[in-house]
Structure 1
Amino acid sequence: MIIQNDTFILSKRGWLPSMLVATFFLFFTMTTLHLFQFISGALLIALLLIYRNPERTTTINEANSILSSVDGVVLGVEDALIDEKMMKKITVLNGLWDVSMLRAPFDGVVEAYKVRHGISLPLYNPLSDTLNEKALLSFRAACGEEIFIEHMSDQSCFPIEVEAEEGQKMKEGSRYGFLAKGRTILYLPHNVTISIHPGSNVRAGESVIGQFA
């Protein structure tokens, strides 16, 4: 099955800041203020990269596949005890120049979500887990299995955004939020077959990270 996502090439979140910076760039270009022209031009390019929203075509070979919800590099795959239940914990680091759009890992329902507003300390800071901005979501697949996803900001001036409602049905690969730079942890059922390893590069809505039993 092939799912085609049709959206603007630039996330709607980036329209206003990009237009403002583009206006300054044109102004400085006409006034020959070359230093400010260079700064505003570099900032415009950075914003276009951060807010880019590429088309993703997802080829799904099996209905029980779980896709990555974020672009980035896998930092770790391990077992974790969550609420007295053993689960698979996959940690993914999303860099500033990775695509920032978050995508649903499978066809399913948003069981719950919560966004905790906060600051954006470096992840190595011991206070980051307590003070940094964080989003928590749970998705339930058609097979009845539930996974949990945690997104946390890392030294970013861009807030985490989640566009979802409890009980909302989502198609695999559909967009549900924005994370410009941070860490994502996916908690999967312990009987899931993991398809990636530390060091793997994953793409939201495309890379299969595991399969339900």
Structure 2
Amino acid sequence: MKVHKEGRRILFVTILVLLALNLALYQFNRGAVLFNRIFAGVSVVAFLALLQFFRSPFRHLFTHEDLLLAPADGKVVVIEDVYEPEYFDDMRKQISVFMSPINVHVTRNPISGMVKYFKYHPGNYLVAWHPKSSTQNERTTVVVESDAGPLVLFRQIAGAMARRIVWYVNEGDEVNQGEEFGFIKFGSRVDLFVPIDADVKVELGQKVKGGETVICQLKI
């Protein structure tokens, strides 16, 4: 298992702090053996929990110009036709994937093409499943003109725990399906906005894998 680059510094600092605290307890609190052992055990569990959050497992990626792949690991929480005001100013089909803290938090390009629009929005930290989180939370919006032709919008959204959104794309970039376009730290969601006539291949509540699960098929 590979550790994602976004977590290496955090993990390094965390292990140094935990080691220092445990050594200090051992030196200055030798009488409380049971407490020291419990603290050591909690330290190990905390570090392992952080380590699993920043894991970056290998994925068997495949590409197809008219298939939209899951942008992240998680659960499908929204499939509905909605009005998209930021870029399209018309009706689109929204498909949202919620990432819990135990999911891999790498976010991947759902399709290949050129980035036609990118914008970062500062905002609130409502829980990621809140209906208003898509427009009020800290978020990034990316619009890609797919190789198949249709425009696809995808949005990283910070949640109540997520306090850092990282992105690796900018307007004018060429992006490849399945490659990383960012990372969201500590739980959130990704919204996809596709044409109304897209053929959705997932169901509400379904668990998906970033870069592997087919979300929908675009009409060419």
The bucket for the TM-score relative to the shorter chain is 0.7 to 0.9
Aligned equivalents of 1:56, 1:65: Cα separation in 2 = 17
Displacement, 1:97? Answer: 0.8
1:14 and 2:7 matched: yes
Aligned equivalents of 1:20, 1:129: Cα separation in 2 = 32
**Structure 1 equivalent of residue 168 of structure 2:** 163
Displacement, 1:136? Answer: 1.1
Aligned equivalents of 2:180, 2:104: Cα separation in 1 = 12
**Structure 1 equivalent of residue 30 of structure 2:** none
**Structure 1 equivalent of residue 209 of structure 2:** 203
Which of these residues, 125, 134, 138, is aligned with residue 139 of structure 2?
A: 134
1:150 and 2:155 matched: yes
> Compared with structure 1, are the counterparts of its residues 36 and 21 closer, same or farther at alpha carbon in structure 2 (3 Å cutoff)?
farther
Range that drifts further, 180-189 or 202-211: 180-189
**Structure 2 equivalent of residue 212 of structure 1:** 218
> Compared with structure 1, are the counterparts of its residues 169 and 47 closer, same or farther at alpha carbon in structure 2 (3 Å cutoff)?
same
1:190 and 2:193 matched: no
> Compared with structure 1, are the counterparts of its residues 9 and 149 closer, same or farther at alpha carbon in structure 2 (3 Å cutoff)?
same
Asked whether the 8 Å contact 1:21–1:43 carries over to 2, the reply is no
TM-score in terms of structure 2 length:
0.83
TM-score in terms of structure 1 length:
0.85
1:45 and 2:48 matched: yes
Greater radius of gyration (CA): 2
How many equivalent residue pairs?
Answer: 205
> Compared with structure 1, are the counterparts of its residues 95 and 84 closer, same or farther at alpha carbon in structure 2 (3 Å cutoff)?
same
Which of these residues, 97, 101, 105, is aligned with residue 100 of structure 1?
A: 105
Displacement, 1:122? Answer: 2.4
Asked whether the 8 Å contact 2:65–2:148 carries over to 1, the reply is no
**Structure 1 equivalent of residue 125 of structure 2:** 120
Aligned equivalents of 1:146, 1:124: Cα separation in 2 = 25
Counterpart residue identity of residue 207, structure 1: T
Aligned equivalents of 1:156, 1:172: Cα separation in 2 = 28
Q: Secondary structure at the match of 1:109?
A: strand
User: Identical aligned pairs, as a percentage?
Assistant: 25
Aligned equivalents of 1:174, 1:165: Cα separation in 2 = 14
Mark the runs of 5 or more structure 2 residues left unpaired by the alignment: 27-35
Asked whether the 8 Å contact 1:9–1:53 carries over to 2, the reply is yes
CA RMSD of superposed structures (Å)? 2.2
Range that drifts further, 77-86 or 174-183: 77-86
Q: Deviations over 1:46-88 (max 9, x none)?
A: 221111111111234x431110111111112111233453321
